[in-house]
């Protein structure tokens, strides 16, 4: 009894039993059993909050709160039955009919599970009764259209799922198992977790659905155990709702689980309350999210004063569970649970002697949510009763007078005006004032209302997302600041300093046999040209200018020709030196450095002639390509003449091919001249790079085309350095005993 009444739906029992029934018959009553101390504490917190509010002079003074408590038992049938009892007057369950003459019901509290809360929220929402849940985490309750008078004192489940994902991601666990409850929350959790794992390349090793089942040794539980036993995942996530905690506890109690790391949601303390040896062993060391705790002042003293009474069945059932005993007149069907036999209760036990550590002692989490839910409802009622009608508000309205427009001109339009970014499109068969609004296509814009058409953006601009303005296109070229430009510049400098280091080594060991072999001057010329080859790639990086476009191709062609012609001259030196040793050979007069340098100069002059003709006839120039990419301006050097460009490539390729053929023919000469083998490999790599360059270059555009060219230059230069000079450096530093005049025949 009370001036105002609160209806409370609390889950006070862990398990419900019902029988299947046809829709043509009246449903049987639901049997609720297995009361737990954890739920009993929710019940005590509700009573404590109501008593505290009734004693308070600050909240609802001179008004007494009454209450009606129903055990939802975690099942929709019981919850809806209780709701109909309250609304229809507790005599007959008649929808939309009340036997109350003057109902004092002002709101409802509950429930713990989302499933029972959902069905009550739908029912009470019809009558706009406020409802506050202390445990429902389903995100559907955020929908204020569907649940306009529903509130809760606990965050929704998505935050909890995201927290578990953060744990998995933090520890790098990508291969995890998953056990979910057979309800909407479980399936939502599986979908969200699967998607989140995929975002960092994680996978679900297996996914098992836990059915609501308290029967001993069910085949379904055995299937889940088999999945756990055979999986290679070392981490398993448990995402089940409150209703399924007994099923999960039973699973872990009946089977000896393999050693795994378990990650659980906030239901975990409910499972551990069963205190079974196998359960505690398997879940030892688990990680669990928990609801943030709160403080309930003086609740502990209120808690300790309770003891079992003859007519208080809930307290008696909880007493039996808390002290592991049974009253002699108890008719509980769970006298033997998990293989344990309990003693008889005396009724003289005290709460202070009970071991409540497994329930978190007095760290109140969900219990605190019950407490705050009662206070939230009471404070709302207090504010409603304390509200006073406004008095003498004309003075306040006086300051607003200037902003009031007493006469508004009504609008009469066939349709709303077209906003900027769209154009008018006349409807077929209708008058001109009736039209549709069509959004401007990409590359067009309109910046006025009711634009008759869209204006096309200039070539160097594109439309913004709203199609209300034209903005500059992004300019694309290889910059020193972007990742590609920085990487290529770094590789260029590394290659340059590598060649410079080899050049320094050759100068230091100038008079050793390995350096003097096959014309040391020609080797130095080749090293200098390789240094210039690496540096010429810097002309291809950065914003293209007219001078860079002219220099990059000419420099590249001439410097590379010097490199390849130097290799050709070294090869011919080997051939001439070998044949000059034959009796009566006329090639002795050509042995020396003059022929080699003449060959390099002649070959280079040929390349320079092609380059001069190119620059004079079709000079390269800076070009802004606005067609290839829709939203990008490609700033590039137009070659001017593709024919001249491939003439330069072909000329260098011809010299490389001649060098390869000559070196291949000379590879079987005596060991004194075996540098030809190194030249053979270097020219083979050189030719392979430039043969692959042609199709890659022709199929590329913009910065990718320039990057292909730079890569070809660096790769071919590295091949020459690695195949010709690295073996010599190896002998100089690693095998110095071979770098002697008496053994030079083995290494030249």
Q: At a CB cut-off of 8 Å and minimum separation 6, what does 255 contact?
A: 221, 222, 225, 278
pLDDT class of 191 with cuts at 50, 70, 90 = very high
CATH 1.20.1070.10 placement within the chain: 483-746
Question: What's the pLDDT tens digit per position in 466-513?
Answer: 899 999 988 888 888 888 888 989 999 999 999 899 889 888 888 887
In the chain, pLDDT over 90 holds for what percent of residues? Answer: 15
Residue 549 to residue 467: CA distance in whole angstroms: 37
pLDDT at residue 280, as a whole number: 79
Cross-strand partners of 68 = 7
Question: What's the pLDDT tens digit per position in 384-403?
Answer: 888 766 665 555 555 555 55
> Is domain 483-746 in CATH 1.20.1070.10, yes or no?
yes
The edge-to-edge listing of strands for the beta sheet with 621-625 is 474-476, 632-638, 621-625
- How large is the average pLDDT for residues 14-35? 67
| Higher-confidence position of 277 and 617 | 617
Chain centre to alpha carbon of residue 473: 30
Pairing state of beta strands 325-326 and 343-344? parallel
Question: What's the pLDDT tens digit per position in 572-627?
Answer: 776 766 665 555 555 555 555 577 778 888 888 888 888 888 888 888 888 888 87
Residue 522 to residue 362: CA distance in whole angstroms: 90
3-class state of residue 151 by DSSP: strand
pLDDT at residue 748, as a whole number: 37
Query: Ranked by mean pLDDT, which of 436-450, 613-627, 684-698 comes out on top?
Result: 436-450
Q: What are phi and psi of 78, to 5 degrees?
A: -70, -40
Triad 724, 730, 735: Cα angle to 5°? 135
DSSP state of 290: -
Side-chain-side CA neighbours of residue 586 (13 Å): 0
Instruction: Point out the least confidently predicted range of 113-122, 329-338, 411-420.
Output: 329-338
pLDDT at residue 670, as a whole number: 60
Question: Is the model's pLDDT at 672 over the cut of 80?
Answer: no
Number of H helices, E strands in the chain: 22, 25
DSSP state of 308: -
Q: Domain 4-154+296-349+357-384, what architecture?
A: 3-Layer(aba) Sandwich (3.40)
Alpha-carbon distances of 132 from 120, 363, 415, rounded to whole Å: 11, 22, 44
Sign of dihedral through CA atoms 35, 37, 42, 48? positive
Q: At a CB cut-off of 8 Å and minimum separation 6, what does 610 contact?
A: 557, 644, 647, 648, 651
Pairing state of beta strands 336-337 and 343-344? unpaired
| Higher-confidence position of 218 and 140 | 140
CATH 3.40.50.2300 placement within the chain: 4-154+296-349+357-384, 157-288
Question: Is the model's pLDDT at 109 over the cut of 90?
Answer: yes
pLDDT at residue 48, as a whole number: 93
- How large is the average pLDDT for residues 253-271? 82
pLDDT at residue 506, as a whole number: 85
Residue 289 to residue 264: CA distance in whole angstroms: 7
3-class state of residue 6 by DSSP: strand
Triad 36, 355, 351: Cα angle to 5°? 75
Tokens found for residue 104? 């004092």
Query: Ranked by mean pLDDT, which of 185-194, 397-406, 632-641 comes out on top?
Result: 185-194
* CB-CB neighbours of 535 under 10 Å: 16
Tokens found for residue 633? 């301006």
pLDDT class of 46 with cuts at 50, 70, 90 = very high
- How large is the average pLDDT for residues 18-29? 65
The edge-to-edge listing of strands for the beta sheet with 105-109 is 65-71, 4-10, 105-109, 131-133, 150-152
Query: Ranked by mean pLDDT, which of 53-67, 265-279, 401-415 comes out on top?
Result: 53-67
DSSP H helical ranges for 136-218: 157-171, 184-198
CATH number of 157-288: 3.40.50.2300
| Higher-confidence position of 368 and 511 | 368
| Higher-confidence position of 209 and 656 | 209
Question: Is the model's pLDDT at 733 over the cut of 90?
Answer: no
Query: Ranked by mean pLDDT, which of 90-99, 581-590, 716-725 comes out on top?
Result: 716-725
Question: How close are the terminal C-alpha atoms of the chain, in Å?
Answer: 112
> What count of residues does the chain have?
748
Q: What are phi and psi of 475, to 5 degrees?
A: -90, 130
Instruction: Point out the least confidently predicted range of 346-350, 441-445, 467-471, 670-674.
Output: 670-674
What predicted TM-score, i.e. pTM, was given to this entire model? Answer: 0.50
Residue 701 to residue 699: CA distance in whole angstroms: 7
* CB-CB neighbours of 81 under 10 Å: 17
pLDDT class of 332 with cuts at 50, 70, 90 = low
Residue 700 to residue 710: CA distance in whole angstroms: 13
Under 8 Å between Cβ of 94 and 88: yes
SS3 for 366-428 is HHHHHHHHHHHHHHHHHHHHHCCCCCCCHHHHHCCHHHCCCCCCCCCCCCCCCCCCEEEEECC
Mean pLDDT score of the chain, rounded to an integer?
A: 80
Q: What are phi and psi of 328, to 5 degrees?
A: -65, -30
* CB-CB neighbours of 77 under 10 Å: 17
DSSP state of 273: T
pLDDT at residue 150, as a whole number: 94
pLDDT class of 747 with cuts at 50, 70, 90 = very low
């Amino acid at each position: 009894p009370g001036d105002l009444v609160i209806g409370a739906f609390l889950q006070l029992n862990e398990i419900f039993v019902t029988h299947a029934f046809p829709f043509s018959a009246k449903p049987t009553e639901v049997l609720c059993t297995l009361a737990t101390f954890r739920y009993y504490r929710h019940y005590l917190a509700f009573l404590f909050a109501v008593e505290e509010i009734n004693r308070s002079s600050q909240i609802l003074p001179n008004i007494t709160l009454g209450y009606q408590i129903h055990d939802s038992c975690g099942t929709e049938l019981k919850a809806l039955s209780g709701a109909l009892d309250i609304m229809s007057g507790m005599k007959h369950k008649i929808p939309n009919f009340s036997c109350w003459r003057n109902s004092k019901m002002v709101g409802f509290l509950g429930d713990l599970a989302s499933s029972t809360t959902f069905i009550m929220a739908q029912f009470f929402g019809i009558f706009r009764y406020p409802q506050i849940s202390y445990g429902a985490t389903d995100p559907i309750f955020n929908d204020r259209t569907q649940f306009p008078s529903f509130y809760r004192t606990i965050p929704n489940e998505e935050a909890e799922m995201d927290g578990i994902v953060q744990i998995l991601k933090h520890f790098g666990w990508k291969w995890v198992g998953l056990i979910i409850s057979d309800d909407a929350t479980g399936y939502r959790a599986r979908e969200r977790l699967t998607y989140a794992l995929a975002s960092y390349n994680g996978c679900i090793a297996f996914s098992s659905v836990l059915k609501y089942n308290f029967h001993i040794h069910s085949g379904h539980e055995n299937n889940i155990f088999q999945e756990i036993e055979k999986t290679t995942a070392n981490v398993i996530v448990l995402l089940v709702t409150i209703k399924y905690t007994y099923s999960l506890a039973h699973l872990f109690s009946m089977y000896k689980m393999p050693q795994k790391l378990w990650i659980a949601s906030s239901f975990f303390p409910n499972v551990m309350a069963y205190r079974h040896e196998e359960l505690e062993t398997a879940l030892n060391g688990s990680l669990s999210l928990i609801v943030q705790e709160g403080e309930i002042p003086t609740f502990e003293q209120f808690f300790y004063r309770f003891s079992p009474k003859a007519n208080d069945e809930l307290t008696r059932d909880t007493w039996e569970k808390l002290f592991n005993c049974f009253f002699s007149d108890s008719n509980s069907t769970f006298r033997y649970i998990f293989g344990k036999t309990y003693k008889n209760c005396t009724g003289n036990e005290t709460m202070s002697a009970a071991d409540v550590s497994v329930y978190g002692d007095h760290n109140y989490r969900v219990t605190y949510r019950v407490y705050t839910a009662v206070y939230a409802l009471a404070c709302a009622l207090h504010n409603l009763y304390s509200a006073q009608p406004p008095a003498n508000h004309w003075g306040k309205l006086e300051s607003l007078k200037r902003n009031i427009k007493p006469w508004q001109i009504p609008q009469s339009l066939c349709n709303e005006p077209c906003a900027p970014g769209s154009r008018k499109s006349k409807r077929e068969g209708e008058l001109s004032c009736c039209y549709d609004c069509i959004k401007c296509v990409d590359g067009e814009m309109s910046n006025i209302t009711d634009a008759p058409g869209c204006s096309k953006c200039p070539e160097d601009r594109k439309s913004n997302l709203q199609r209300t303005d034209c903005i500059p296109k992004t300019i694309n070229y290889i910059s020193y600041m972007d990742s590609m430009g920085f990487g290529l510049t770094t590789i260029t400098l590394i290659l340059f300093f590598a060649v410079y280091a080899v050049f320094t080594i050759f100068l230091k060991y100038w008079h050793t046999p390995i350096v003097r072999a096959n014309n040391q001057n020609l080797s130095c010329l080749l090293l200098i040209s390789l240094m210039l080859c690496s540096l010429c790639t810097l002309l291809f990086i950065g914003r293209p200018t007219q001078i860079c476009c002219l220099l990059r191709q000419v420099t590249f062609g001439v410097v590379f020709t010097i490199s390849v012609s130097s290799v050709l001259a070294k090869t011919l030196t080997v051939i001439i030196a070998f044949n000059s040793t034959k009796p009566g050979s006329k090639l002795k007069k050509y042995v020396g450095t003059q022929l080699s340098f003449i060959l390099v100069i002649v070959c280079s002059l040929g390349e320079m002639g092609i380059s001069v003709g190119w620059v004079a006839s079709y000079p390269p120039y800076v070009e802004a390509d606005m067609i290839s990419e829709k939203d990008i301006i490609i700033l590039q050097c137009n070659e001017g003449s593709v024919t001249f460009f491939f003439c330069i490539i072909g000329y260098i390729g011809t010299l490389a091919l001649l060098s390869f053929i000559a070196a291949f023919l000379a590879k079987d000469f005596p060991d004194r001249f075996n540098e030809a083998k190194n030249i053979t490999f270097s020219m083979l790599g050189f030719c392979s790079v430039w043969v692959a360059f042609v199709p890659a270059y022709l199929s590329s555009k913009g910065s990718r085309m320039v990057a292909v060219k730079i890569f070809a230059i660096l790769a071919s230069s590295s091949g020459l350095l690695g195949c010709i000079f690295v073996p010599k450096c190896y002998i100089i530093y690693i095998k110095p005993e071979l770098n002697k005049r008496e053994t030079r025949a083995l290494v030249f």
